[in-house]
Structure 1
Amino acid sequence: MTAAIAIAMRTDKQEVSPLAIFANGQTIYSDGEKCDWAYRVAFGAVSLYRVLACGRRQIVSFHLAGEWFGIEQGRRRQFTAEAIGPTGILCANLAADQCSALLPAVLDALWSAREHQLVISRQSSHERVAAFLLEISERTQDKRRFDLPMPRADIADYLGLTIESVSRAITRLKCSNAIRLVGPRGVEILDRDRLRSFCD
């Protein structure tokens, strides 16, 4: 358990703990740890990943502000959670009675997101990137203009692509006037129907 998480936890079984701050790349929890706590992103973003037998990292999900993560089947973690940029985390004790009503909805959302990741991993590179941008846009407040908190290397690990393939796909979407790039990580969807057509 990291020091930051230890600071955030309470022993009085409150439903949600005070805020814990993590730096970019800091581990929130690791594969194999006990599943005693659920987490909610207050600000920033979190990636869940597993290191494959070949040594390659496979990101299975991203979690943005307001989203829960860390509820898994079994008593041990199957994935490692890592902060993307400065990230604030709230903790909830899975053993506390106050949290029990949250578990079915959170589990459904988590497993649905992982199933969706498996679907987009079967598509071509530009289809995967287009589907990814549409997915992120639906999870942000401004569905037309948003910033990607994760670098392209993380997007590549999530989609099962190389960084070069992600960059080429983004360039193709930009040249088709489906999207516009704003700064280093900003994306503006210019034509949602055209962007969606890349997923067909």
Structure 2
Amino acid sequence: MELQTAAPRTPVADCDLCAAFATASAAPRSPFKAGEQLFRQGEPVRLVYRIQKGAVISYRLLSDGRRQVTGFHLPGDFVGLEAGIEHATTAETLSTVHASAMERVELAERAATDSGLVRALWQVTVRAFHRSEDHALILSRQAANERVVAFLLDFAERLGHPEFIDLPMTRQDIADHVGLTIHTVSRTLSQLQTEGLIEARSTRHVRLLQRGRLEAICA
């Protein structure tokens, strides 16, 4: 069953960027099946994507073979806006994904003469920076329950603070994102459920029962 990953309404500041994607010359095959890669770490940056439906995971393979999940991208998010000439991460679909794409060269050419597009790109870049900061804050927490709760609350915020959360990622994905083992993530979720803070109806469906107490854990 395909997971529903609705996202908050696209900010008004992004409208110029969305319009640029709507008229872009690049037209990659869509939809992408779960498990397909939009691009790989180390590949030259050619296309920038805007997710319309589904979810995408981005990760970096470290020199020792470990995987570091750097982010999860939902509808309305832009993927592939790199500062360098090569992709720093691999982007892979977690579900069936519909996405529009634009050549980075074309995006740069349009931005050179479109101040509205420049402002939109700035807003997207700032939000990406804030997401990196949020991820760093999660990793800085010492206790496993703090990391897992911080992740759940952050993901819920991105979805508009729903009571029920459909997680498009696996527990291994979460573990690689918050710097824990999958066993620790599973044990922590079970502990939170025993304490009545959440209800994990399945490995992908979580209900936040005591949001105030959850927020207190991360305070």
Q: Which runs of 5+ in 1 are unaligned?
A: 1-12
Instruction: State TM-score, norm by structure 2.
Output: 0.79
**Dislocated runs of 4+, deviation >3 Å:** 15-19, 98-101
Whole-Å Cα distance in 1 between the matches of residues 99 and 48 of structure 2?
10
Per-residue CA deviations over 1:123-168 (Å, capped at 9, x if unaligned) read: 1211000000001101114621120000101001111111000001
1:117 pairs with 2:135: yes
Letter of the 1:20 partner, please give it: S
Taking a change above 3 Å as real, the CA distance of residues 102 and 17 of structure 1, as seen in their structure-2 partners, is farther
Q: Which runs of 5+ in 2 are unaligned?
A: 1-21, 112-116
Question: CA, structure 1 residues 17+138, in 2 after alignment: closer, same or farther (shift >3 Å)?
Answer: farther
Instruction: Map residues 130-169 of structure 1 onto 2, 5 A cutoff.
Output: 130-141=149-160, 143-169=162-188
Number of paired residues?
188
26-35 or 77-86, larger mean C-alpha shift: 26-35
Matches within 5 A, 1:47-196: 47-94=57-104, 95-96=106-107, 97=110, 99-123=117-141, 124-141=143-160, 143-196=162-215
More strand by share: 1
Contact preservation (8 Å) 1:50, 1:57: yes
Superimposed CA distance per residue, residues 97-132 of structure 1 (whole angstroms, 9 cap, x where no aligned partner): 165443111111112111211111121211000000
Q: Name the Cα RMSD after superposition.
A: 2.0
Identity %: 34
Alpha-carbon deviation of 1:35?
2.4
